Amino acid sequence: MMGNHTIGNRKVAIIGAGYVGSSIAYALALRDIAREIALVDIDQEKTDGEAKDIRHGLPSMGTADLYVGSYSDCVDCDLIIITAGRNRRQGETRLDLTNDNVKIIRSVADSIKTNYTRGVILVISNPVDILTYKVAQWMGLPDGMVFGSGCILDSSRFVRSIADYVGLSTGVIHGYVIGEHGDGQVPVWSRVTVGGIPIDEYCSTTGLEWNKSIRDAISGKTKKMGAEIIAAKGRTHYGIATCVCQIADAILNMRPTIVSVSSVLMGEHGCRGVALSVPSVVGSSGVQMRIREKWTPEEYRGFFDAVEKMRNTLVYLDGDNQI
Ligand code: NAD
C-alpha cells in the first residue's frame, strides 16, 4: 500500500478549458466536489467565456469558487487535471494524436512543475496511457501521484451496455475494462457480476440468452462507442467529465474507490515500464494500489498485447522522435 495523506482545501486546477476541461469543471461544480476550481488555458478569451457561463449558474446550484487562472494556480492544489491538447478527428485512433499531444503536454508538464507544491496529477488528454507514462517520468513524483483516466470511461460504457442487455440499472452491474484506453482495451468478462452473481450464472439462472457472440457484440460496441460519438458530434466530453467526478471525489473528499485507471506498472502481472489500466484503489494520494486480480488466459493475452503496443510507442518516442 502506497502512502496516504490528508487533504486540505479541495483545490483543483484544470489545464485545458476546451470541451473536456470545461465539462469537467461544470460537473465538479454542480456536484460540489471541489471548493476551488482554476481553469487554465492558453486561450484566455474562450476560457473567460467558459468560466462565466458556468459561474452564472452557480448561485442556484453549487458553491465552488470557479475562476480563470494561470499556471501559478497549481500551487497548493490537491488535484491538477490535464486536458490540454487536440482531440481525435473522425477516423483517427487515439495513438494518432501522439506526436502532437506529447509536445503540448511536455510544455504543460514543465509549467506545472515550476508551480508544483503538492497534489495528485490526473491525465485525461489522449493518448492517455502514453501521456500518463511521460508525465509521470517528467514529474518524478512518488508512485501513483500521476495517473490517467485510462479505461474508467470504457468500463463505464461496458457497464452501461451490459445493464441495457440484462435490463437492470447500472448500479447492480460490476465490471472492468483493462489495458489501453483505445483499441487495445480488454473487457474482463470473467469478473463481471450482476447483483454480486457472476454474469454467466445470472443469465443461466434467469433464462437470459448468453453466449460468446452476445459478449463479443457488447465488447465491440464498448470499443467503438467513442468513435461513434465523434462521428456523430465531433467530440466526446460529457462521459469523461462524469467519470472524473468519481475520481475527484475519491481524492478530494476522502472517499477511496476502485476504478480501472492508468498508472505506471511496477511489476504487476510481470509488467513494468508502461502505463496501462488495471483496477486500482484511488484515494487522496492518487493510485494507492494496483489490484493483482487473476484473469483468464485470453484476458492476459489481450493485456500483454496492449503492454507490447504501449512499449513500442514509447520506444518510438525515445528514438529519433525524442521529445
Ligand atoms: P479542445 O480542443 O476542445 O480543448 C483543448 C484545449 O487545450 C484548448 O482549449 C486549447 O487552447 C488548450 N491548450 C492547448 N495547449 C495548451 C497549453 N499548452 N496549456 C493550456 N491549454 C492548452 O479538446 P477537447 O475535446 O477538450 O479534448 C481534450 C483532450 O481530451 C484530447 O486529447 C482528447 O482526445 C482527450 N479526451 C480524453 C478522453 C478520455 O477518456 N481520456 C475523453 C475525451 C477526450
- Asked whether residue 6 carries a pLDDT value surpassing 60, the answer given is no
From the candidates 5, 56, 174, 181, give the one annotated as an active-site residue.
181
For the residues 243-261, what does the mean pLDDT come to? 97
pLDDT class for 321, splitting at 50, 70, 90? Answer: low
Asked whether residue 89 carries a pLDDT value surpassing 90, the answer given is no
The cell for 97 is 494524436
pLDDT value at residue 1: 40
How many A from CA of 95 to the centre of ligand 1? 15
Is the pLDDT at 246 greater than 60? The verdict is yes
Q: Which residue has the higher pLDDT, 188 or 58?
A: 188
* CA gap 258, 310 in Å, rounded: 23
pLDDT of amino acid 91: 85
Kindly indicate the confidence band of residue 5, based on its pLDDT and cuts at 50, 70 and 90.
very low
Average pLDDT of span 1-22: 79
Look at ligand 1, atom 33, and give the residue with the nearest C-alpha: 87
What pLDDT does residue 2 have?
44
Residue 62 confidence class, pLDDT cut points 50, 70, 90 = confident
Which amino acid belongs to residue 283? G
The rounded Å distance from CA 4 to ligand 1 centre is: 30
Query: What is the rounded distance in angstroms from the CA atom of residue 178 to the CA atom of residue 247?
Result: 17
Ligand 1 atom nearest to 19, measured from its CA: 26
> How confident is the model at residue 322, as a pLDDT?
54
Which ligand 1 atom is at minimum distance from the Cα of 128?
A: 41
Q: How far is the CA of 103 from the centre of ligand 1 (A)?
A: 13
226/305 Cα distance (integer angstroms)? 21
Specify the residue with its C-alpha closest to ligand 1, atom 3.
Answer: 18
Under a CB-based contact definition with an 8 Å cutoff, are residues 261 and 275 in contact?
A: no
Nearest to 273 by CA among 226, 320, 307, 225: 307
- Reported as a single tens digit per residue, the pLDDT across 163-211 is 999 999 999 999 999 999 999 999 999 999 999 999 999 999 999 999 9
Ligand 1 touching residue 225 (CB < 6 A):
no
Q: What is the mean pLDDT of residues 10-39?
A: 97
41 lines ligand 1 (CB under 6 A): yes
Segment 250-264 mean pLDDT? 97
Tabulate helix, strand, coil % of the chain (nearest 5).
50, 20, 30
Q: Kindly tell me if the per-residue pLDDT of 253 is higher than 60.
A: yes
CB-based contacts of 83: which residues, under 8 Å, 6+ apart?
A: 14, 15, 16, 17, 18, 20, 21, 24, 124, 125
Per-residue pLDDT, 125: 97
**Comparing C-alpha atoms, which of 250, 232, 210 is closest to residue 33?**
250
Q: Which of 23, 46, 82, 86 to mutate to test the pocket of ligand 1 (most atoms within 8 A of CB)?
A: 86
- The CB density around residue 194, as the number of other CB atoms within 10 Å, is 22
The percentage of the chain sitting over the pLDDT mark of 90, rounded to a whole number, equals 88
Band (pLDDT 50/70/90 cuts) for residue 3 is very low
* Pocket lining: 101 vs ligand 1, CB cutoff 6 Å: yes
- Give the whole-angstrom CA distance, residue 289 versus residue 275: 14
Contact call for residues 87 and 235 (beta carbons, < 8 A):
yes
Q: What is the mean pLDDT of the chain?
A: 94
289: which strand partners?
281
- Would you state the pLDDT for residue 182? 94
Which residue's C-alpha comes closest to atom 16 of ligand 1? 84
Q: Average of pLDDT values for 97-105? A: 92
Nearest one of 92, 88, 91, 69 to 80, comparing CA atoms: 69
Enumerate the H helices of the chain as residue ranges.
19-30, 44-55, 98-115, 128-139, 152-166, 199-206, 212-233, 238-252, 297-318
Q: Is 129 helix (H, G, I), strand (E, B) or coil?
A: helix
pLDDT value for 183: 94
Average pLDDT in the 117-132 region? 97
- 272-283/286-290 β-pairing: antiparallel
Q: Which residues are CB-contacts of 84 (< 8 A; sequence separation ≥ 6)?
A: 15, 16, 18, 21, 41, 42, 104, 105, 108, 125
125 Cα–ligand 1 center, Å:
6
| Residue 174 is among the residues annotated as catalytic for this protein | no
**CA 22 to ligand 1 centroid distance, Å:** 10
- How much is the pLDDT for 32? 95
Residue among 20, 95, 106, 245 whose CB has most ligand 1 atoms within 8 A, to mutate: 20
Nearest protein Cα to ligand 1, atom 30: 125
Average pLDDT in the 89-94 region?
85
**Lowest mean pLDDT, pick from 87-96, 126-135, 181-190, 235-244:** 87-96
Query: Where residue 320 falls among pLDDT bands split at 50, 70, 90?
Result: low
Asked if residue 81 has its Cβ within 6 Å of ligand 1, the reply is no
Q: What spatial distance separates the first Cα and last Cα of the chain, rounded to whole Å?
A: 33
* Percent of the chain at pLDDT exceeding 70: 96
The residue to mutate among 47, 87, 238, 259, having the most atoms of ligand 1 within 8 angstroms of its beta carbon, is: 87
Give every CB contact of residue 133 below 8 A, 6+ residues apart in sequence.
264, 274, 275, 310, 314
305 C-alpha vs ligand 1 centroid, how far in Å? 27
- Read off the pLDDT band of 7 (50, 70, 90): low
Distance 230 CA to ligand 1 centre (A): 14
